[in-house]
Structure 1
Amino acid sequence: MSIKKILGTALAVASILGFAASAEAKTTVRISHTQIETHPDHIGFVAFKNFVESKAGDKYDVRIFPNSSLGANEKVLELVKMNSVQFLSVSTANIESFNKKYAVFSVPFLFTSESNFEKFITDPEVLAELGSDAQKDGFRPLGAFTAGTRNFYSKTPINTVDDLKGKKFRVQAGPTNVKMMEAFGAAATPMSFGEVYSALQQGVIDGAENNELALTDQKHGEVCKYFSYDGHQMCPDLIVASEKFLSKLSDEDRKLFEDAAKEAQKAEFEAWHKRIAEAKEQAKKMGVTFIDVDANAFREKVLPLHQQLLNENPAMKAMYDKASAFDASNNK
């Protein structure tokens, strides 16, 4: 995106949101995410808002903008870097084009269990290491939301890895996801989340890959009646903050927002696990069949890709080694 376009977007957002403020006015803190208001990400940010305003409501007015109302994550991330938006929930797959080490979470089958994944992404040392380039990146992760495991869903059953051959699947933007689908023998079609429903309806794609909430919250289960549990990826949604915003805060207020991110993280995890169970039952009522596949057969197809990805992107090796060691030690 050109600087001219970014500035134009920022000015438009500023106009919509109303940047005018007097010296006495509260500081407006804007939070953006792409999900609907019943989604765990939103519930997490409500906890964030309540925490900040209960502790320092005289100073901050926290406003949440759900459902991509400020735009797609890639665009909003640019606004975060400019401090036009202060916080954003964004998948690591959307960040890897800004900093290649975030691509580590797109490596298929990096973790062997969802429990190991959740412990890793909430480790303060991991978040600190991810944010080590924050001054250059313009944003810093303060917490993480779980997004569960990513699995395939489609119009036709995926019982084995061979059932992916020749099919077109939507993936999140990022070269790692394209390589993964090629390794599976399928064609990758990157597109924004909001475009997936119509693409499925119109036959532009045969399926997609995500968690169970995509079936219900985005109504993808109206078109795709088969959901196969292969668990090929576990990509967190990071709570990223504008580095410009953080750098202007007092130590006390910075800790306030860091603690708010932890509260958001806690609330989102709790809501996530409850919502997934509900979504699965809801999807069954929509006519979706859930299929347990041999995940090892899927894993074997893409394990050779690990070394290729590390060779092509050495920036993620330190985090890859850390994740691999963490996963191994927690399996003992």
Structure 2
Amino acid sequence: MRFKIILLVILFASFVSCKKSTDTKVLYLAHTLPQTHPVHKGILEFQRVLELKSDGKLKVKIFPDGQLGSEREALELLQIGSVAATKVSAAILSNFVPEYNVFGIPYLFKDKEHMFNVLEGPIGKSILEKGSKFWLRGLCYYDAGSRSFYTSTKAIRTPEDLKGLKIRVQNNQMAINMVNSMGGAATPLAYGELYAAIQQGVVDGAENNPPSFVSSNHYEISKYYTLDEHSSVPDVLLIGTKYWNKLSEQERIWVQEAADESAQAEKKYWKASVDKSMKIVKDWGVEIIRPEKSLFAEESKNVVVEFVKDFPEMEALVNNIKKD
């Protein structure tokens, strides 16, 4: 993979050096998602709006499907200036900017409206700018949904129902602490192994957003889907500062405006994807449960306490988000 990336970067550099000088600037944008994904559709809107606003002076060349490597590798290419932009999960960015960690806190947001008030307001914009010292300037957030529990053996209606259940989680300490705080047995497991693990009873269930629940086919072997929406970690559209610093003031305005408009479009694409996925789940016969979220939030309060203990400088940020 590393050789493939280096080879592609060399080819790009050769292509650019061979072009005749024009007024057109090309923004190379790499991401890992398939072209059917709502976030990719949002990126297509970014491409369309930017080229329209700049009257063709700024063009976007998109490399989807992980053509240039993983999210981590795309960030490295951004930092050295080999590509101009990328889309990654905020969870990946927490390795550079600690403030992105807060988005993993369970039940941080009351609802979608609260989440976007935070992301698109002063707090969210401040976090986007903090990556600039690592050559990773945030442009906007994309909706990446909310994760909820699904199980094959027992319905989860209250936190009490989680007791004794083995729930697959990402290898993330906050997710592990959340499930364990409710009495469940958090079980980190590779995503590719999860279907068989649920089918064979190695785990009792897992957690994810509706489009992923469907695209993974996990709905085929899960009887219950509990929409507790415990975490909502957004995706982030980034531009490398090496590319950003080469743009004129007007070009920067065009890029930011295109990003903002694409974020609004992506929300609609995501909602449509969720609606479609939930219909598939319902038609398959999975029982959809809408629990009292406050009960789950109360049980997981210790996770926030531990987070603030590890990152004391984040306490004010967490409090500001909760009261926003």
TM-score, length basis structure 1: 0.84
Task: For 1:84 and 1:169, locate their aligned partners in 2 and report how far apart those are by CA, in whole Å.
Answer: 40
Q: 1:197 offset after TM fit, Å?
A: 4.8
Q: Give the counterpart of 2:230 among 223, 229, 232.
A: 232
Partner of 2:290: 292
1:11 corresponds to which residue? 6
Which amino acid letter does the alignment assign opposite residue 283 of structure 1? V
Q: Which residue of 238, 246, 255 maps to 2:253?
A: 255
Aligned residue in 1 for 2:75? 77
CA contact (8 A) 1:53 1:62 kept: yes
Given that residues 33 and 68 in structure 1 are in contact (C-alpha distance below 8 angstroms), is that contact kept between their aligned partners in structure 2?
yes
- Native 8 Å contact 1:36 1:217 kept in 2: no
- Conserved 8 A contact 1:127-1:142: no
CA deviation profile, 1:267-312 (whole Å, cap 9, x unmatched): 0112222222221112222332211223222112111221221111
Q: Match for 2:114: what amino acid?
A: N
Identity of aligned residues (%): 31
Match of 1:148 in 2: 145
Q: SS state of the match for residue 144, structure 1? A: strand
* From 152, 160, 169, the counterpart of 1:171: 169
Kept in 1, the 8 Å contact 2:129–2:138? The answer is: no
Q: Distance in 2 between matches of 1:196 and 1:79?
A: 31
Deviations 1:68-90 (A, max 9, x none): 34333233222222233322222
Q: Cα 1:54–1:132, aligned 2, differ >3 Å: closer, same or farther?
A: closer
* 1:139–1:241 CA contact under 8 A, matched in 2: yes
Maintained 8 Å contact 2:166/2:204: yes
- SS of the residue 2:265 aligns to: helix
Q: 1:27 to 1:195 in 2, by over 3 A?
A: farther
Q: Which segment is superposed worse, 269-278 or 165-174? A: 165-174
Q: What is the SS of the residue equivalent to 1:20?
A: helix
Distance 1:193 1:76 in 2: 21
Q: Is residue 2:221 matched to residue 1:223?
A: yes
Alignment-mate amino acid for residue 151 of structure 1: S
Q: Aligned partner of 1:92: which letter?
A: A
Distance 1:15 1:209, change over 3 A: farther
The answer to whether the 8 A contact 1:101-1:315 is kept is: no
| Cα distance in 2, alignment partners of residues 74 and 184 from structure 1 | 32
Q: Residue 330 of structure 1 corresponds to which residue in structure 2?
A: none
Instruction: Kindly state the Cα deviation for residue 228 of structure 1 after the two structures are TM-superposed.
Output: 0.5
Q: 1:302 aligns with which of 274, 292, 300?
A: 300
- The equivalent residue for 1:244 is 242
Aligned pair 1:271/2:269, yes or no?
A: yes
Q: Match for residue 31 of structure 2?
A: 33
Where do 5+ consecutive residues of structure 1 fail to align? 327-332
Cα distance change of structure 1 residues 136 and 189 upon mapping to structure 2, 3 Å threshold? farther
Alpha carbons of 1:94 and 1:173: their partners in 2 closer, same or farther (altered >3 Å)?
farther
How do 1:90-105 residues align onto structure 2 when only pairs under 5 Å count? Answer: 90-105=88-103
Alignment deviations for residues 71-111 of structure 1 (CA, whole Å, 9 cap, x no partner)? 33233222222233322222222221222111111111112
Could you say which residue in structure 2 is the equivalent of 1:130?
127
- Matches of 2:258 and 2:270, distance apart in 1: 18
Structure 2: which amino acid aligns with 1:321?
Answer: N
| Aligned-pair Cα RMSD in Å | 2.8
- Per-residue CA deviations over 1:2-45 (Å, capped at 9, x if unaligned) read xxx97x57414425767521243654323233433232211211
Query: Would the aligned equivalents of 2:118 and 2:124 in 1 still touch at CA under 8 Å?
Result: no
- After TM superposition, the structure 1 stretch with the greater mean CA deviation from structure 2, 245-254 or 10-19, is 10-19
CA shift for structure 1 position 235: 1.6
Q: Do the aligned partners of 1:93 and 1:174 also contact (CA within 8 Å) in 2?
A: no
Q: Which residue of 2 aligns with 1:329?
A: none
Shift of 1:51: 1.0
Superimposed CA distance per residue, residues 105-153 of structure 1 (whole angstroms, 9 cap, x where no aligned partner): 1111112222111221122x22331034333222122111122322112
Partner of 2:323: 325
Q: SS in structure 1 opposite 2:300?
A: helix
* Partners of 2:201 and 2:15 in 1: CA distance: 46
Gaps of 5+ in 2: none
C-alpha distance in structure 1 between counterparts of 2:32 and 2:193, whole Å: 12
- Going from structure 1 to structure 2, the CA distance change for 1:288 and 1:81 (only over 3 Å counts) comes to farther
Equivalent-residue separation in structure 1 for 2:107 and 2:4 (angstroms): 37
Q: Is the 8 A contact 1:215 1:222 kept in 2?
A: no
Task: List 4+ stretches of structure 1 deviating above 4 A.
Answer: 15-19, 189-205
State the number of aligned residues. Answer: 320
